[in-house]
Chains A and B, each alone.
Chain A
Amino acid sequence: MQFGVFSVSDITRDPVSGETPSEAERIDAIIKIAQKTEEVGMDVFAIGEHHNPPFFSSSPTTLLSAIAATTKKLIVSTATTLITTNDPVRLAEEYAMLQHVAKGRMDLMVGRGNTGPVYPWFGADIRKSLPMALENYNLLHRLWREDVVDWEGSFRSALQGFTSTPRPLDDVPPFVWHGSIRTPEIAEQAAFYGNGFFANHIFWPTEHSKRMIEFYRERFEHYGHGTKKQAIVGVGGQAYIAKKSQDAYKEFRPYFDVAPVYGHGPSLEDFSSQTPLTVGSPQEMIEKTLTFHDTFGDYQRQMFLMDHAGLPLKTVLNQLDLLGEEVIPALRKELAARKDPESADAPTHESLLKAKYGDKPARQPRPNANRGDNVTGGSPYQDSEGSANYPDLV
């Protein structure tokens, strides 16, 4: 089981101090939060992607590279990478590059994005976002698995003899999660490819997430990637904790009451009793998080939203300390005791490397000399059997 922190990258006025952090301050803060995530013994840090204020994270791979460079074990990821408005060719290139510089300590979660105005800025149309997401992922999948791709679709220009560089680290494509709340087609695509499925059930009824996850598990088995229990599931959550439950309510209330995502509607009490939000003591967070396991069965990744709504950096770092000291160790212990031996571990670069090569050495693609195209011959790489012969005529 992997535990992690995911951030939306919002820059929100702190309603208690009245201060709005600058972009520079918030970007510095997020790097510290990611480093802290590793320091307190958690496994994953993921950042969202947005292209409009008040968010800063327009370029996730740049940020994640900096985080990977200053951490040792942390897996860097996204929540989510927009598979609609981004060109899948650029995604293949950028995330393969991140995979190399992070030495494999990365994966990504693809999602559609639901902010209508963003689409036309990138020449896209939100009404087509679902077919666009499905088709773009089909292409991304091939770009990481075939040295040379011929491709034609509806949402980008056709490719002839295209090679996405660099090839994935060790020729093992980055692991991909598909994030979706309510779209069976996305769950089906995750299952078809044997990828992970992430249900961020923070704002949705648990019953709904349960149905989607169950559908994904059935289809994962249907496509022969393993049993239902071996499917790779991630779940979202959020929390504000303090040693004493009443302090957690007192401290979080001013942030909750004005946070845009809660709509100024439901009370903190309603929201924490009727949704996966925990406000309370570490023990209460442990108990609530275990109810996710009761509902969804063994799953591989649990992410928590900890740093939004204008919470100051100091508070977020304290929250992470509490998580690392009192919550995560207890959850690890209890979930390990509950784990069915049949269920899968969360994929990592090491596990995927082993699955592909066993004890044999990994492929290390070395390009042939530049010949101006990738169309002639099987591959521009030296180890390709079908590569064309270019005799030295001098």
Chain B
Amino acid sequence: MNTQAAMNAGPHESGPYHLVVVSGGTSDPSSTRMLADRISEKVARLAESREEKVLISTIDLRQLTTEISNALVSQLMGPKLTRAIELLGSADGVIASAPVYKAAPSGLFSSFFHVLDNDLLIGKPVVLAATAGTSRHALVVDGEMRSLFACLRTLTVPTSVFAASEDWNSKSLGTRIERAAMELLLLMESGFSHKIKEESWQNYQHEFGSAGGTELGIDLGSELMRLATGGRSQPQHG
């Protein structure tokens, strides 16, 4: 994990924006990471041309492999995983890039998002990207990954970025990257996720202590709270 600049990106509407890249690539260099980096660099350049600034943090999941598998089978969140969750919690936008081996995003990539709490990414704009050895996997991004990120209640951008071996030399990959980058930047500029947090957060189901430990609201007026304090669960007839 690395962060390119001093990171203190709170809620704001005019930047600097905190962009978090999650790469499921396992080799070094990794084409999955390269694809994510091309998108994040494009976001940064587009922002610069609009006199905005983007701070980029990168989470390489291969460094978290042990901690992710521990978290899957126990409730133990290791220090690197905890730091990754902090980074994502403060993100204004996310680029999620996965390798595809068997008609689905890799197990490591999926497992990472499976162990995150349900509230961490609500409303955050996300670019979905994937690499594969063959274009037969092209629909994985829009089929499997988009539904995973819908479950996490994120706002995925319309353009997904898929790169099979033959795409790396193709001009149209660059076009798709630019399109996705611009979509992400516009969504970050809109402050959508922050507005959700400010104006509509209570309309989402939450668990105490979720959203990376920041979700601390307790509704003392709920029906369960009335029951906890000696009241009746439901109106009874008769």
Contact = CB atoms under 8 A, between A and B. Distances in A.
Nearest to A128: B233
A262 B225 contact: no
Nearest to B224: A185
Contacts of A185: 224-225, 227-228
Interface string B33-56: 000000000000000000000000
Nearest to B79: A274
A204 B227 CA distance: 26
A185 B221 CA distance: 11
A188 B229 contact: yes
Interface of B is mostly: loop
B77 A182 contact: no
A183 B232 contact: no
18 contacts: A131-B224, A134-B233, A153-B232, A154-B236, A182-B208, A182-B209, A184-B218, A185-B227, A185-B228, A188-B225, A189-B229, A192-B229, A203-B75, A205-B77, A212-B208, A212-B209, A265-B72, A274-B76
B77 A263 contact: no
B75 A204 contact: yes
A184 B208 CA distance: 7
Which of B69, B75, B79 is the most central at the interface, judged by chain A CB atoms within 10 Å of its CB? B75
Given A188-B228, A192-B228, A131 B70 contact: no
A150 interface: no
Nearest to B226: A134
A223 to B, nearest CB: 8
B133 interface: no
Interface residues of A, number: 34
B74 interface: yes
Given A134-B228, A185-B227, A265-B70, 14 more contacts: A135-B227, A135-B233, A184-B218, A186-B228, A188-B225, A192-B228, A211-B209, A211-B216, A212-B208, A263-B70, A263-B74, A265-B76, A270-B76, A270-B78
Interface string A169-203: 00000000000001111101100100000000001
Interface string A262-284: 11111000110011000000000
B213 A208 contact: yes
Which of A186, A263, A271, A275 is the most central at the interface, judged by chain B CB atoms within 10 Å of its CB? A263
The 9 closest A-B pairs by CB, nearest first: A263-B73, A263-B74, A265-B73, A189-B228, A265-B70, A134-B227, A192-B229, A266-B70, A188-B228
Which of B72, B218, B224, B227 is the most central at the interface, judged by chain A CB atoms within 10 Å of its CB? B227
B224 A208 contact: no
Contacts of B229: 188-189, 192
Contacts of B75: 203-204
Interface of B: 69-70, 72-79, 207-209, 213, 216, 218, 220, 224-225, 227-230, 232-234, 236
B224 A138 contact: no
Contacts of A211: 208-209, 216
A207 B233 CA distance: 31
A152 interface: yes
A101 interface: no
Contacts of A263: 70, 73-74
A208 B209 contact: yes
A63 interface: no
A40 interface: no
B73 A264 contact: yes
Interface string A210-236: 011001000000000000000000000
Contacts of B70: 263, 265-266, 270
Nearest to B227: A134
Contacts of B225: 185, 188
A183 B210 CA distance: 12
Nearest to B238: A152
A54 B77 CA distance: 28
A271 B76 contact: yes
Contacts of B73: 263-265
A183 B69 CA distance: 26
